Every structure is written in C-alpha cells, then in structure tokens.
Amino acid sequence: MVVATSTRDVIGGRERLGGPAFFIGTALHLLGADAVVITGEGAVAERLRRLHGISVEATGGDETIFSIDVRGDGRTLRLIRAAPMDIRGIGRIGGNGPYVISGTMGEIPIEFVEEAAARGRVLLDVQGFVREISDGGEVVNSAALMRGLMERLGGSGVLVRGEKYEFPPECRGEGIIACSERYGLDLVMTDAENPFYAVIGGAAYRGHPLRGLQGEPIGLGDVFTAALGHYLYSVELPIEEAAALASAAATLKLRGRHPWFTPAEVEDVAHKVAVERLR
C-alpha cells in the first residue's frame, strides 16, 4: 500500500500533476503491480483511478502546490501551499502492509510511520520529512531534521530511502555504512546517475546506474522508490537485484517517453547496472 502526497507543480508558468502519489502510482502501474494508493482528493487521484491495477482511497485534504524552477539536472522548489493528509482509518485499509510512505512537505506525521512499522514492513522516502523553508522562501533540506528522523526511527525496522543531498554530510557515500550502524536503520541513498548505496541487515552495496541518458529529473526518486518497494516486497528479490531494477526504472523515466518504460525494458537495463558488495 502506498501512502503518498499528491501535488500540483507550477513549471514554466504551467500547472502539472506531480508528487509521489502520481509518480509512484504510475510507476507501479507500468510495472504491472497491483497497489492501493492513499492520497488527497484531486486531479492526481482522478488520474490514478484510470490506471489498471491501481486502487485509490482518497483522504481528507487537498493537493500540495509547488513552484518548480528546473535548470539542467537540478531544480529549485518554492512552496505555495501544503495540504496535510488526514490519515485516520489508513491502518484499517492497509492492514499489515507492506507500506510505501512518501510526503513532500510535512503532510504525513512521523507518528503514522511508526504505527505502520509496528504493523508491517515500511519503505519510507524521506523527502517530505526533512524539508524546511529557507529565509529566501526556497524549499531546502535540513541535515538536523534527517538526523532526528534517523534517531527516532532507529530499531523500528523501517527501510529509509533518500537522495544524497537529503542525508547529512557524514552519511554520504560509504559514510552511509557507519550511519546505518549508528542509528540502527537500513538505508538506501541515491544520487542521480552517480553511484547509489544500500545497507540492509548489515550488508552494504554500491550500485552504478546506467549513464548517458538526459532528461527532466522530476519524479526520478519517486520512481526508484516505487520500483524498489515492488521488487523487494511483492516480487521478494534480494536487495541488490531490487535496487538494480529500481535504478533502471528511474533511468528510463529520463527519456520522457509515454509510457515511461515496460517491465521488459526495466529488466534489460537492470542487467547493465553493476552492483558490488562492499561488505
């Protein structure tokens, strides 16, 4: 089950569907998965309802709105409006999980993550839990919030995924191994086309995404999260195989094609993603 925020993103003066609910739900549909997506009511929920295999349960609340300035492979976000999710009753719908949880700007309370972890397996994308607004009005990542989140979730069994820039400096690169030990958490860290890292149950891996494809970076992390959750929890592959497939799906999303990918394309590209065990 996916519990995720829907957004409307203003890019180049035009409004587009966005947010983890949109990208995760669409990616799961393309991978042939069946999933329940819990999100706010709005245009994203309506779009997802039309996708085979995806069932939508709308919560109280609306869609969060961002203004996004895309430059090259980077982006700058400004928050226009955050829409907290009403998560009452989600436990009844989701049962024992597994859960994929992802917000964008504090819409999902950390208490819900803890409650979900007490019921079953949880893959948490940290983006909506570690952001704050800078003095200039831009959305920025907080190392202090990330440290606090890892400390709070330590020992909970939650698998935490984030981008390199969402982790504190001491946790980046192979530093993720020490941070996994320090906080008692399984961690996955991605960094666009640069190496990704995963530390699961004490075993550490480094993967090398396929390079050379260029395109808009919006939604890539959400696609990685979707594919990782699918291959880990539904297909039950080992982490090194699931991460290679997740990396492949995110890379293929860069092409800007519709559909973004097919399961066969993801599997083909995953064979070109080298994953090495560090320990």
User: For residue 211, what are its two tokens?
Assistant: 């390079």
Element (H, E) at 248: helix 239-253
Is residue 177 pLDDT above 70, yes or no?
A: yes
Is residue 75 pLDDT above 60, yes or no?
A: yes
pLDDT of residue 94: 57
pLDDT of residue 97: 82
Taking the model in full, what pTM does it have?
0.95
Q: What is the mean pLDDT of residues 114-123?
A: 94
pLDDT of residue 55: 96
C-alpha to C-alpha distance for 10 and 15, rounded to whole angstroms: 4
* Neighbouring residues of 13: CB distance < 8 A, sequence distance ≥ 6: none
Is residue 22 pLDDT above 80, yes or no?
A: yes
Between the CA of residue 23 and those of 68, 89, 191, 221, 264, what are the distances in Å?
A: 16, 24, 18, 9, 19
Phi, psi of 230 (to 5 degrees): -60, -50
**Confidence category of residue 12, pLDDT binned at 50, 70, 90:** confident
Q: What is the mean pLDDT of residues 103-115?
A: 94
**Confidence category of residue 90, pLDDT binned at 50, 70, 90:** low
Is residue 95 pLDDT above 90, yes or no?
A: no
- pLDDT, the chain, mean: 94
User: For residue 30, what are its two tokens?
Assistant: 């393309």
pLDDT digits (tens, 9 = 90+) for 228-265: 999 999 999 999 999 999 999 999 999 989 999 999 99
The identity of residue 239, as a single letter, is I
